[in-house]
Structure 1
């Protein structure tokens, strides 16, 4: 049975400062094209800004969802039955688990600009992945959504 609405959905959008950086890339392109005249300058401003915005937007288009009995994180679709305990990580623990505590076999959907994360154990003995690390702005809500699916 598929519920009509996802109990959890989050899009990992880039921070607002990245959009300023996109504009600055456009300004840089405009300055590079300045010796060629006004029209190339405007084209560089618009084109450089647009290309940088597309890159930033595509990087931030990754989603984390709990749909039905699955956790969908980016391209990965993991049945909740294969997941174990979820550990909410604060900023310090998040930094530790994406650096010196990280296991190279783990599935990591991380965004360095998001200060919190959720680490979920993988309980499937056939899967060599020890855990899933997900950068999320709302780790408590994601853990609660996984628990709700397990309880149903």
Structure 2
């Protein structure tokens, strides 16, 4: 299989870590509270323009939190803009909520690469074997930790077998 072939570029795993449904109404309520506070604190400004500006602004500030993409391609692990060659992955551990809490807790390595979303309880821990990179592991939130761990291990083993 050549690197240019379409099968080589297909993602083995792909998901988008979106906000939960309740975050959007909560944001509208928070924006309304902020607009009310501004209206009460600045009585010279009419009320409706404050709401018309603050609520959409609050919603716009939530958009970046809704776009995180996690994907496993045949050659790399992609988390938003970060890229990790699968050849340097030594092991992958699927973490439940307690495991994620432990991996991100007091004993966490300060050089670890962490992309976590508090509203997603599960994650994967990707252990690295790259002597030139000081990062010992990645911890990435995912709603499907077993599927992601399986896909990462599969493509990593395949890449290592092809390179040797």
TM-score (norm 2): 0.82
In structure 2, C-alpha distance between the alignment counterparts of 1:41 and 1:22, rounded to whole Å:
19
Moved more, 43-52 or 133-142: 43-52
Give the structure 2 partner of residue 102 of structure 1.
108
Q: Which stretches in structure 1 are left out of the alignment for 5+ residues?
A: none
Q: Find the aligned partners of 1:61 and 1:131 in 2 and give their Cα distance.
A: 23
| Alignment root-mean-square deviation, CA | 1.9
Cα displacement (A) at 1:137:
0.8
Whether the 8 Å contact between 2:95 and 2:125 is mirrored in structure 1 is yes
Note the 1:10-25 alignment, pairs <5 A: 10-25=15-30
Secondary structure class of the residue paired with 1:16? coil
Question: Which of these residues, 97, 114, 132, is aligned with residue 91 of structure 1?
Answer: 97
Deviations 1:79-109 (Å, cap 9, x if unpaired)?
Answer: 0001111001111111111112211111111
Tell me if 1:49 matches 2:55.
Answer: yes
Match of 1:122 among 125, 128, 137: 128
Shift of 1:151: 4.2
CA contact (8 A) 1:30 1:43 kept: no
Render the CA deviation track for 1:103-140: whole Å, top value 9, x for unaligned.
Answer: 11111111122101100101111111110100111111
In 2: Cα distance, 1:145 partner to 1:6 partner: 9
Larger Rg: 2
Q: Which residue of 2 aligns with 1:145?
A: 151
Q: Report the TM-score, using the length of structure 1 for normalisation.
A: 0.87
Q: Is contact 2:89-2:156 (8 Å) kept?
A: no
CA change 1:84–1:151 in 2 (3 A) is closer
* 8 Å Cα contact 1:69-1:79 kept in structure 2: yes
